[in-house]
Amino acid sequence: MTQDSPPTRRESGDERRLAIAAAARDIIVEKGLEGLRTRDIAERVGINIATLHYHVPSKAELVALVAESIRHDFRVQAQRNSRQGKTALELLRLEFADFRETTLDMPELVIVLTVLTEKARIEPAIRDIMQPMYDHWRDEFAEIFARGIAEGMFRANLDPTSAALITTGALSDHWRKGFSTRFPLDLLIAEVERAFIADPKLLEDHS
């Protein structure tokens, strides 16, 4: 296919959409969301504007595609470490390990996620895209805390949703650009564990 030929059904598959999402993410890292231009994306992917609009007709759908690519990356990451048969504390630590890996090995993802999260505060269309992702992340922690209460690992009077909000809020603040260099992640994680654990001896047993 040449740059001027119309899009075909073969070119509407997942690979093309992944390439579009990757190009968009690169541009967001380099120029921010305001610098996201369809012409630049099309040029990087090697397609024309008509083909790009075939896959993502609007900027909102482009942002949604970027968000879906981020969710895909997180799913792949989570699948590398089985959650089967783990205690709640072990599950919590797996979440922390995934977070640490993201900040160290995928800094560009952190930048894109931060940009979209900040923009979601003032643009309802982007908020509608990003809110379900954040809700899912928070709910995962809430489920872990609820399970830990049932297992006797976390405080009996702990509210799972509040604990999840505290945890995701702390982690979100940590990965804001520049903050992670000023405050060690391990100290933050240790404080979160101590705040919610039922008995400090459990931390020693699972260290």
Alpha helices in the chain (DSSP H): 14-31, 38-45, 49-55, 59-79, 88-105, 107-120, 124-151, 160-174, 185-196, 200-205
Average pLDDT of the residues in 111-140 = 91
Say which residue the tokens 């024309």 belong to. Answer: 48
The residue count of the chain comes to 207
Rounded Cα distance, 178 and 192, in Å: 21
**DSSP 8-state code for residue 152:** T
> What does pTM read for this prediction?
0.81
132 and 72, same structural domain? yes
Is residue 158 scored above 60 in pLDDT?
A: yes
114 and 53 within one domain: no
Domain range for 51 is 1-57
Q: Is residue 85 located within the same domain as residue 110?
A: yes
Handedness of CA 171, 172, 173, 175 (dihedral sign): positive
Count of the separate structural domains present in the chain: 2
CATH of the domain at 125: 1.10.357.10
Whether residues 18 and 86 fall in one domain: no
pLDDT: is 73 or 164 the higher one?
Answer: 164
- Check whether 1 has a pLDDT greater than 50: no
Q: Is the pLDDT of residue 134 over 80?
A: yes
**Cβ burial, residue 68 (10 Å; 0-12/13-18/19+):** middle
Note whether 76 and 158 are same-domain residues.
Answer: yes
- Which of 11, 32, 57 is the endpoint of a domain? 57
The answer on 156 and 76 residing in a single domain is yes
Residues 28 and 98 in one domain: no
Same domain? For 102 and 32 the reply is no
Report which of 179, 184, 170 is spatially closest to residue 137, judged by C-alpha positions: 170
Q: What is the DSSP letter of 198?
A: S
Do 195 and 154 lie in one domain? The reply is yes
Could you tell me if 72 and 103 lie in one domain? yes
**Among 15, 34, 57, residue at a domain's last position:** 57
* Same domain flag for 138 and 174: yes
Tell whether 52 and 91 lie within a shared domain. no
Instruction: Among 20, 40, 57, identify where a domain stops.
Output: 57
Average pLDDT over residues 89-104: 93
**CA–CA dist 190, 185 (Å, integer):** 9
Tokens read off for 5: 């030929």
